[in-house]
Structure 1
Amino acid sequence: MFYRSRPLHFHLLVDEISKNSLETLFKTWNLPQVNVSFYPVEPWVPRVSWIPNKHYSGVYGLLKLILPEALSEDYVLVLDTDVTILTDLSSLWDLLNQFNSLHMLGLAENQSDWYKKNLATGQRPWPAVGRGYNTGIMLMNLKALRINNFHDLWVDSANEVLQNISNFTSLADQDVINAVIKKYPHVIYTLDCTWNVQLSDHTLSERCYMDTEKMKILHWNSPRKQEVRNKYSSDFNRMHRVFLEMDGNLLRRQLFHCNPVQTSDNVNRTEACRKFTMAATVVYRTHPFFLAYEYNTHSTTDLTLVTQCSADRISLLDELCKRWRGTISIAVYLTDAELQYFLDFIHNSDTLRRRRNIAYHIVYKEGEYYPVNYLRNIAISRVSTPYIFQVDVDFLPQVDLYENLQLYMMKLNLTEVDKTALIVAAFETQRYRFTFPTNKDELLKYLNYGILYTFRYHVWTRGHAATNYNLWKVAVDPYEVTWEPDFEPYIVVSKSTPLYDQRFIGFGWNKVSYITHLTALGYKYVVLPNVFIIHRPHGPSADIGKFRTDPLYRRCLKRLKDEFIDELITNYGTAAISRIKKMTKA
């Protein structure tokens, strides 16, 4: 992307889960002159799944074989996802002009002796010309492949090898394509090795390293990827990391040879709150499900802990996840460079690196304000469970809170259509080190000793006063409370509950607006008596500093608050007026 000088069109074979994530990625990255087409992978899998395959990519490693049938394009450049591009790919694309009438595939030679030796299993490798060809970077003349019935060629070649030489493929599509080339060598146009510098454990491609300025594509074709055992791997990793840590917004620049994209700005540039309102319209580059994620529990009362954090709060994740055994969906707000620190943190955590039920959604940093409600919405919209527990990352949940919340939902016969929000009482400590209470009795003792306090009792009492902590201390059953202005409890609700208003950024009214919206919709609030969360102390955020010191910031927030209330009344009529009448009087 960084070196490109021409428009690009991606053609991606995907399942439904991948499509949802990739659609968000392409939409939010909003790269000029970049288009994408998605093709459902499911119809094509049976066309190749009959081939026994031991490659770590599974059946998906065979799907290049069906590209002439799946795509209507005449020519494509096929790239594995484990490559690092070091030049403008238009030079590679232009090599299609050098194809003669017989050429159908453009490939670089395989840079190991894999196809020249017997396998450890005692079987022979698939047939190949010399060392064979590597299919990680491939120019395909799809039109010629269709005309010459490529489907029949590879099916016949695969069947012949499976019957006479090998019982399975080790390198997936590469084995099959090499078998075709062995029988029909005229189909191949040989690319220079610099277009596919292969960094496998047994690579023999050092002649391509002699002049690093000529290397065009690094191909990490080892299962270990960037951890490959190669004497030059540290140098190659530095090249790779340059792109990982580069500001992705650089890819949004206009191309020299492309027509500029017209944009409009409907915001009055002279208004005092312009910077505040403009920040709410930013399209943040977003990558859902950045790491492997699995969800295998299907329960009518299952719930996901939903949260968000920035780089300075990453260290809080470890302890939070130790105390919540259920699914977690977290939106993480980072620069491109901070993302690498975050991945290192996950890798080095005994807790986090083993968990597969934590969905990490990366939102790339842009501007000076923390887009807290956008982050919350990203985390909520990727939830698989029927319910969500919304909490900030600087809280620690009571041990067994995940299980106890499900018990309460069953006890209350809660359903997804109920307009009920379950409140988990919030407390705080000023101590960086303390023994977490194991139950309510211990917590009450900590309150009496001054080790714990009700949350924000000294700076923002109104935020949680409606929880009625005096009643909570003696309650044994859930109890309903009445909404009050500025109420912002931490709640369990159905995942179908409306999302947060993304105009609220930084500090102030971001969660209050959400609870006020639920109130206008007629939600009731039920406090659970024997569960709790505790806030951990940390330094103030930059946005709190702006709120406290900048009068303009507070005026702009007040204007947005008034607009929000007026919109609720307009959208929900007299019912909303009666429910939030205290707010209009405040």
Structure 2
Amino acid sequence: MPPPPRRRRKPRAKCFVLLPVLGALTLYAYVVLKHFRPTTEQQHTVEEWVDDDPKTHFFREEALLHQPTPAPSYSTKTDDAIRSLYRGPRGCWRTQERAPARASIHSAFTGSVVTNDSFVSIATQLAQPEPFPESRDLCRVDFTLVTQASAERLWMLDHICQRWHGPIVISVYAPITEKIQTERDKCYPNQVEYIITTVKLHIYSDHSSYPVNKLRNMAISRVRTSHFLHADIDLWPDANLLPRLKRLSSMARHNHTFADPRQAIVIAAFAREVKTDCASSTAKAQRDKYRVDLKLCHREADQIPDSFETLKKCIMAKDCHIFDRYNHDGHGTTDYRSWLHGFDGGKSLKPVSCFGSNRYEPYVVLRKSPLLPMYEERFTGYGKNKIEQIVHLRYAGWRFQVLGRSFLTHFPHHKSAARVEWEETQDADGNTHRDRMDHLYREFLAQLMYAYGAPGSKDEAHARHTKICNT
């Protein structure tokens, strides 16, 4: 008699559940790794920064100074890349709204020459674009100090390193005969990255052609943190500025502010205005080509406020003033009276609802992202070279907030040679450099108006504009 047939076991329900789950997880892991894995070039860039252990990075960029600025153009591919950077909770992966094409002309940082037959370039492209920080660590917030300087003011870097214990990128402009000292006594190893541009002496002597905005863009292109603060080298941060920024960025209620690529954090600026031996000796150096006695300058450096308390004492002694007290429109919107007495409710950040003047040009902390307009490199020498970016940010929809109790202080010195040329030197047609920069600025504003529309218009693309007060 044959044995009875064996009963087949019914597969357990768990198997039917487990197999699809494992398959879904495998597919998800594959998509994530494929989408967010750095390219070979990006991996090389990271390894070069970490493993080389360089004290400095040198770039001889004289040829770059004479290259025409490529005109940026809008592309759907770039916009999609921007959208993929911001998703999820805490703003680390937040969906970026799709901007109209004309309002996104500054977002195509491809690094190649792109023809743009629609109108003249408004922003510049990065000559050697770095992978944006979001592609490396989207949730970690950190800050880099970005600055530019001519060789004779490089001594100030030691004092800045004592106040800013974080990464610094500096573009240095020097004659080809100048030996640049990159070993700074007060800076940490690998704290400072130098971008050194050397030019022939006759080019260096033409102060009206000082490529201030190209130097700024070159420095910004090397930023490897989520945010950066740009300030000229004669504006020194107080010792609490970086710790305060880091502390605020770690607070849940400020997550949106530091994740939003269209937020600008205004840093109040003051100036120590006293007659010093350092200032007079530096002026003599400009006229008579003598070396500055830096001992005089280092002594004066000890008097620059490094805390809120020392700033108040300096103001009470009438040695420190609002920067620039001869140009109220330049920084008046910061509302220094409210800043000095503390914002209402003890707030750390105070929103700027409107600009008191279209000449407002504060120093700001910005998030590095593909949306960020770069400095317009047609502005050279002295005049309108910083305000042009602030007005561009305003037209492009950036919102501004003032940081409380931390500040920058301007080191006292004579008028720069670039400013003297801005005011006095005339060309063959009788125009000063000031006339040329003013004309360029009016042209630049017209281009912004064309790209973004007039502030106050009903168009959705312009709804985020920070308006001028009482308009």
What is the TM-score when the length of structure 2 is the normalising length?
0.59
Which residue identity lines up with residue 430 of structure 1 in the other structure? Answer: E
Q: Which has the larger radius of gyration?
A: 1
**Corresponding residue of 1:571:** 451
- Report the structure, 1 or 2, having the larger strand content: 1
Give a deviation string over 1:380-436, Cα, whole Å, max 9, x none: 011100100111101221113211112223342223434111111111112452534
1:346 aligns with 2:217: no
Give distance in 2, aligned partners of 1:435 and 1:581.
38
Contact 1:326 1:402 in 2 (8 A): yes
Cα–Cα, structure 1 residues 330 and 297, in superposed 2: closer, same or farther, change >3 Å? farther
Question: Match for 1:444: what amino acid?
Answer: K
SS in 2 for 1:465: helix
For 2:395 and 2:174, the matched residues in 1 are separated by 34
Q: State the 1:572 CA deviation.
A: 1.1
Match of 1:405 among 233, 240, 245: 245
Q: CA deviation at 1:488?
A: 1.0
The answer to whether the aligner puts 1:479 opposite 2:350 as a matched pair is: yes
- Relative distance call for 1:516 and 1:14 in structure 2 (3 A) is closer
State the Cα distance separating 1:495 from its structure 2 match. Answer: 1.2
Residue 450 (1) aligns with residue 315 (2):
no
SS of 1:464's partner is: helix
Distance 1:309-1:27 versus aligned 2 partners, 3 A rule: closer
Taking the aligned partners of 2:441 and 2:263, their CA distance within structure 1 comes to 24
Query: Percent identical across equivalent pairs?
Result: 30
| Equivalent residue runs for 1:212-223 within 5 Å | none
Whether contact under 8 Å (2:382, 2:422) holds in the other structure is: yes
Structure 1 residues 532, 580: closer, same or farther in 2, change over 3 A? closer
Task: Tell me, yes or no, if structure 1 residue 520 matches structure 2 residue 395.
Answer: yes
Match of 2:197 among 360, 363, 378: 363
Q: Deviations over 1:73-109 (max 9, x none)?
A: xxxxxxxxxxxxxxxxxxxxxxxxxxxxxxxxxxxxx
Alignment deviations for residues 123-144 of structure 1 (CA, whole Å, 9 cap, x no partner): xxxxxxxxxxxxxxxxxxxxxx
Note if 1:28 corresponds to 2:64.
Answer: yes
Q: Within the alignment, does 1:16 sit opposite 2:44 as a pair?
A: yes
Change (3 A) 1:19 1:357: closer
Question: Residues 7-54 of structure 1, C-alpha deviation per residue, up to 9 Å, x if partnerless?
Answer: xxxxxx9983399999996973899xxxxxxxxxxxxxxxxxxxxxxx
Structure 2 CA distance for aligned equivalents of residues 520 and 403 of structure 1: 31
Q: 1:530 to 1:288 in 2, by over 3 A?
A: same
CA drift of 1:574 comes to 4.3
Aligned-residue RMSD, C-alpha? 3.8
1:425 to 268, 273, 289: 268
Partner in structure 1 of residue 229 of structure 2: 389
* Residues 62, 198 of structure 2: 8 Å contact kept: no
Deviations 1:241-293 (A, max 9, x none): xxxxxxxxxxxxxxxxxxxxxxxxxxxxxxxxxxxxxxxxxxxxx9999xxxx
Q: Flag the structure with more relative contact order, 1 or 2, with Cα contacts below 8 A and sequence separation at least 6.
A: 2
Task: Kindly provide the amino acid, as one letter, of the partner of residue 391 in structure 1.
Answer: A
The residue type equivalent to 1:443 in the other structure is L
Instruction: Note if contact 1:25-1:288 (Cα within 8 Å) is conserved in structure 2.
Output: no
Match of 2:419 in 1: 544
User: How many equivalent residue pairs?
Assistant: 311
Distance 1:561 1:318 in 2: 35
Counterpart position of 2:85: none
Q: Does the CA-based 8 Å contact 1:388-1:495 persist in structure 2?
A: yes
Q: Is the 8 A contact 1:425 1:528 kept in 2?
A: yes
Q: What is the distance in 2 between the residues matched to 1:452 and 1:460? A: 15
> What code does the residue aligned with 1:28 have?
L
Offset, 1:443: 1.6
- Answering whether residue 328 of structure 2 is matched by residue 494 of structure 1, we say no
The 8 Å contact of residues 144 and 229 in structure 2, kept in 1 or not, is answered as yes
Q: TM-score, normalised by structure 1?
A: 0.48
Structure 2 regions of 5+ residues with no counterpart?
Answer: 1-40, 50-56, 68-126, 131-135, 277-299, 426-430
